[in-house]
Structure 1
Amino acid sequence: MHAAAKIAIGALAGLIVCGNAFAQSPTPEERLKQAGITLRTPGAPPANRANAVRTGNLLFVSGHTSQFATKGKVGAQLTVEQGQQAARQSGINLLATVRASLGSLDKVKRVVKVLGMVNAPEGFTDPPKVIDGFSDLMVEIFGDAGKSARSAIGVQALPGNDPVEVEAILEVE
């Protein structure tokens, strides 16, 4: 074999090896760590409820509020941007429950359906923009598998006057 052919084959083999190394995307647990997000251990739910219920390959996760320091209605006391931060924090709280339920976020195959509720005054028309804070986090952690069907609604009140509450259905291993 000619020297030029050997060099070309070696370079091609190097590209294939490098390409495979880069083709592997980080796992959800690795992405969480890269984002600098620490999940707390969720507390027991009040009364006769569960934080999450698994049936088959679906995990139904109860509504999680942001437990945001700032309380109130988005569009009155809070800006849309503050609402997005609250939605992101609701997502972090929800992920803590998912990890506690499954042992690892790596067992999530897909975020299937999300319902986001925004504590908002009458006439507020931006709940979808607020819940984008949650959806953006799901894509950050799960990649394309974090894109879900979603509903976002404004409600008159939420527990503890929290700005946001989000629930989700996940497909899991």
Structure 2
Amino acid sequence: MKFENLHTRSISFALSFMFLLFTFSCSTPESQTQKISEDTWDAEQKLKDLGIVLPEASSPVANYVNAVRTGNLLFLAGKGPGLPDGSYITGKVGQDLTIEEGKEAARMVAINQLAVLKAELGDLNKVKRVVKVLGMVNCGPDFTQQPQVINGFSDLMVEVFGEKGKHARSAVGMNALPMNIAVEVELIVEIEDN
């Protein structure tokens, strides 16, 4: 009698285990689904879909370079909200500019950093992951909405690169930025092996 109960329980356990194994093997894990969608993501096409034409990458204004590669990481120097006519969006956010205007300035910085990436890599699809963003906002001491301003940068990175555009980030206030620019952003990206 005891043997029959043990045998029945063993069979029941084995059937339950096989059912779970079958269920998991037939389902597509979320990470696998995410990888498939990431593999088919086309950052260059996304840029076209957004109607964004990248400018020429601007030259450094002092004794430094736009980007330095070490291993599979590309470190981009801080860029400001340069406009096509060579001028910049300037002023303190919260005083001279609204939060929305600051956010637009941060989006312009994102376009300028994408131009640097394109110049360095030749193809934005070589970006494996946007790793880290340091966003600096020109503002007064009482301004506390830096994250909302830098969202202008972060949002465009995600629009262009999808899941690969999601990044670690700092958004900080600065008493002053070079040439009184409204926003400056540094960027670190991981790039594909070549």
With normalisation by structure 2, the TM-score equals 0.75
Coordinate RMSD, CA, aligned: 1.6
Q: CA-to-partner distance for each residue in 1:87-114, whole Å, 9 max, x for gaps? A: 0000000000011011111100100000
**Residue in structure 1 matched with residue 189 of structure 2 by the alignment:** 170
* Inter-partner Cα distance in structure 2 for 1:63 and 1:91: 11
CA 1:70 to 1:167, structure 2 compared with 1: closer, same or farther past 3 Å?
A: closer
Task: Give the match for residue 36 of structure 1.
Answer: 51
Corresponding residue number in structure 2 for 1:133: 152
The alignment status of 1:49 with 2:64, answered yes or no, reads yes
The corresponding residue for 1:152 is: 171
In the alignment, residue 108 of structure 2 is paired with which amino acid? Answer: Q
Distance in 1 (alpha carbons) for counterparts of 2:89 and 2:186:
20
| Contiguous gaps of at least 5 residues in structure 1 | 1-22
When normalised by structure 1's length, the TM-score is: 0.83
Match of 1:59, SS state, is strand
Aligned length: 152
1:93 maps to 2:124:
no
- The amino acid that maps onto 1:156 is N
Q: Is the 8 A contact 2:81 2:89 kept in 1?
A: no
Structure 2 alignment gaps of length 5 or more? 1-36
Match of 1:64 in 2: 79
Secondary structure at 1:88 match in 2: helix
| Range with bigger deviation, 61-70 or 152-161 | 61-70
- Counterpart AA for 2:153: F
Identity %: 56
Give the greater-gyration-radius structure (CA): 2
1:123 aligns with 2:138: no
Question: Tell me, what secondary structure is at the counterpart of 1:29?
Answer: helix
Q: Deviations over 1:85-144 (max 9, x none)?
A: 000000000000011011111100100000000000111100011000000000000001
**1:109 paired residue among 109, 115, 128:** 128
Deviates more, 1:86-95 or 1:156-165: 156-165
Deviation at 1:70, TM superposition (A): 4.1
Summarize the Cα distance change of 1:54–1:70 in structure 2 as closer, same or farther, 3 Å threshold.
closer
